């Protein structure tokens, strides 16, 4: 019985706000409302997933980021009425890209 229990443990699943595909939480980048370099409200990356507040998840790829921006998915997922800049997320994704 113990081997059956261990094999059926569930992995937290989340939906990417860009491509709308479900994936394991560990494969996605969490984003939250934070601030940009000028102190203005913005969508900020939360790579450790520990920031307080409502979060949304995104595959850490430029393709999913562009889809999320085009669909205005960040404001909807984070339940905000005004559009926020998502430049900090783009900068974070660019820093992850291989040189």
pLDDT in tens, 57-76: 999 999 999 999 999 999 99
Domain CATH code at residue 63: 3.30.1230.10
| Residue 41, C-beta contacts closer than 8 angstroms, at least 6 positions apart | 33, 34, 35, 84
Tokens describing residue 58 = 């995104």
Note the pTM of the prediction, 2 decimals. Answer: 0.83
Please give the residue that has the higher pLDDT: either 16 or 41.
16
The CA-atom distances, in angstroms, between 79 and each of 34, 44, 73 are: 14, 15, 10
Residue at 79 is within a domain:
yes
pLDDT at residue 99, as a whole number: 55
Residue at 15 is within a domain:
yes
Average pLDDT over residues 44-64: 95
Residue at 82 is within a domain:
yes
pLDDT-derived band at 1, boundaries 50, 70, 90: very low
Tokens describing residue 21 = 């595909």
Residue at 61 is within a domain:
yes
Residue at 3 is within a domain:
no
Total domains, the chain: 1
Domain that holds residue 77: 11-96
Please give the residue that has the higher pLDDT: either 95 or 2.
95
Query: Collapsing DSSP states into helix, strand and coil, what is residue 46?
Result: strand
């Amino acid at each position: 019985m113990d081997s059956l229990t261990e094999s059926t443990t569930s992995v937290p699943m989340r939906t990417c706000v860009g491509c709308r595909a479900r994936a394991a939480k560990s494969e996605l980048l969490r984003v939250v409302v934070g601030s940009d370099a000028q102190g203005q409200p913005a969508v900020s990356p939360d790579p450790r997933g520990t920031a307080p507040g409502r979060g949304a998840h995104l595959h850490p790829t430029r393709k999913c980021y562009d889809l999320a921006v085009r669909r205005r998915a960040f404001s909807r997922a984070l339940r905000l009425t005004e559009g926020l800049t998502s430049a900090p997320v783009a900068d974070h994704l660019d820093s992850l890209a291989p040189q």
